Amino acid sequence: MGSKYFEIVHRDGLARIGKLSTAHGTLTTPAILPVVNPNLRLITPSEMKSMGAEGIITNGYIIRRSPELREKAERSGLHSMLQFDGPIMTDSGTFQSYVYGDMEFDNRGMVEFQRKIGSDVVTILDIFSRPDFNRSEASDAVRETYRRLGEIEPSETSFLAGPIQGSLFPDLRRKSSRLMGYSHADYLPVGGVVPLLEQYRYADLVNIIWNVKRYGNKGKPLHLFGGGHPMFLALAVYLGIDLFDSASYAKYARDSRLLFPDGTRDLARIGDFPAWSPLHGRYTVKEVISAEVEEKTLLLARHNLFAIFQELSEVRERIHEQNLWEYVQQKTHSHPSLHAALEQILRIQGGLEAFTELSRRSPYFHFQEHSRGSLFHRRIKRFAEKFVSQRETVRILDTNYRHEGIREKIIEEYEKSSVAFMIPWNGIHVPLELEDTYPVQQVIGSGESNSTTWIRGVMRQYSLQPHDGEVGSKVRNFNLQKLRTIAEFQFGQGIKLFPDSTEIRVSRNTGRIRTASVDEKIMATLRASDGFLTLTMEGAQAMRASITPPRLSVVVSEESAGFNRKGYSVFFKFVDRFDRHLVAGNETLVLDPEEKLIAVGRSRVSGMEFGDYTRGVAVDVHHSVEGRDEDETD
């Protein structure tokens, strides 16, 4: 099961804004935990908080091995010692053991010490698996790390972090992710990656993060140890990383280097500080270069930490607007290593698609170079291929089919024909019936393509014809076929929602479909924002008659069913069964334990994630058997 302390607030694919509740406050993810060296506080934790840090991370091993620090931490507590009242995570000394090769404390002792001084997130003493480990060494690290987790009992006052190891072996990363994710660990750091980060081996990191996220527990927060450079934040978050720690702000400052959203620059080679830098307007580059070493390091560290928080803020906003993928594409043109990472992401698009929402708030941006491999493009292309395979003849329309006077003629021809009408869209062709459906209508592209290469390849046995019409009487209704095609695209085959007797109401201003009714009862409305269907209870009843649970549905406990019947939303902890193929943001039926329909709403997550969450809202109910339909309000 997932963490009882973590809940999702907003999402964009695997990227998510969440809330992690600790004994010392709440962390909003994605979050950066700046590293605080207990021996050398370059920037004080209180100043970090004023810059935007909700939490910090420090080293329990360093504190324990120093008599002075240990005595102070045990006497007054970690938060008092560091003068920080927010969440604090402690590391166990694993990385120090990797660097220096010695460790005088055992696993149980390190965890007990971290808990004793009041750490909010304590880390077991895991085995650091280097990138150059052979398979046997990496496997031993996974096995021993999991064994050490088993030595530790859960605690009600602190989270237990179970690091995921496995070096560069995908199957070992998957194994470690499953072991740790479905154990009593509350918090999941991805370990053994600092050397890869230092060497800019971002394609390898994409592979590691994907295997960890895809096969692990998605209901628990995922932390990338050492991954705080702003140039990689967006990619990591896009793949599902929730938290980072960073000592880079201090490390680069000591080398007279500055962090920027797109990379790292030497102080001696820049002309001025950017407008967003806390140094801009206060210091010239020459003044900082000539400053005493201690002051120069502090000034550069402030710039670097601000750069990290600024990038994190941008990433959060991109998640909120649901256009993080577009931002990732922009970022990956700033460095060849990032571009290699993008190529690796494109290779796993098929897997990422399962976690993608039905539609997004932002338009769909299409760039010729990479967007054809993006998730929405793949989804509609696959549907179009299936759509045309069911027809003997396909009619290809020109790009000007929407022009005044032309569309009316096209619809007239359509209704006298039984063939598939396809429209060009960013290098492929899609059914005319999906013309207003996300992302067809909501695209911003770099140029329309009329190529029919792919469609000829998948349907060589079919006939391609121009849109010259054919003589005959009306054999079908365009708006009715449009509703049926949208339903098939949205819900899959076999859903019977709109019989021939369906009454369709259209907007007087736009001519677009607004509602579909049967026997004077509204079955569904067509959303103007994305062109998809919102079901009423009557429409949900028709869908229920077409499915075998739990397809397109969740089954809730009797404890929850009474509330859901009245229109209250469904919480994860009350879901007993669910469809693993649910699409995030899609219409979802809510059934009671006897599989009777009691409500309908939109799922907040995909079916691939559903079973991993235990906290928060699972389905936002908008119609219910005892509640008032939205259409009846006002």
Q: Which helix (H) or strand (E) holds 47?
A: helix 45-51
The verdict on whether 91 is a catalytic residue reads yes
| CA separation for the pair 52, 438 (Å, rounded) | 36
Residue 242's closest CA among 218, 216, 213, 222? 222
Helix (H, G, I), strand (E, B) or coil at 30: coil
Instruction: Tell me which of 91, 242, 436, 530 is the catalytic residue.
Output: 91
| CA separation for the pair 366, 380 (Å, rounded) | 13
Which residues have a Cβ under 8 Å from the Cβ of 101 and sit 6 or more positions away? Answer: none
SS3 content of the chain, % helix, strand, coil (to 5): 40, 20, 40
**Residue 91 near residue 57, CB atoms below 8 Å:** yes
Rounded to 5 degrees, φ, ψ at 366 are: -115, 120
Between CA 364 and CA 375, with CA 369 as vertex, the angle to 5 degrees is: 40
Q: Look up residue 277 and give its DSSP letter.
A: S
Lookup result for tokens 């895809």: 214
| CA separation for the pair 288, 284 (Å, rounded) | 7
**Residue 228 near residue 195, CB atoms below 8 Å:** no
| CA separation for the pair 65, 49 (Å, rounded) | 27
Q: How far is CA 313 from CA 31, 45, 280, in A?
A: 9, 19, 19
Helix (H, G, I), strand (E, B) or coil at 520: coil
Residue 551's closest CA among 604, 598, 493? 493
Peptide bond connecting 439 to the previous residue in cis, omega within 30 degrees of 0: yes
Q: Look up residue 268 and give its DSSP letter.
A: G
Q: What spatial distance separates the first Cα and last Cα of the chain, rounded to whole Å?
A: 41
Q: What b/e string do you get for 499-533 counting C-beta neighbours within 10 Å, with b at 16 or more?
A: eeebebeeeeeeeebebbbbeeebbbbbeeebbbb
Residues with active-site annotation: 91
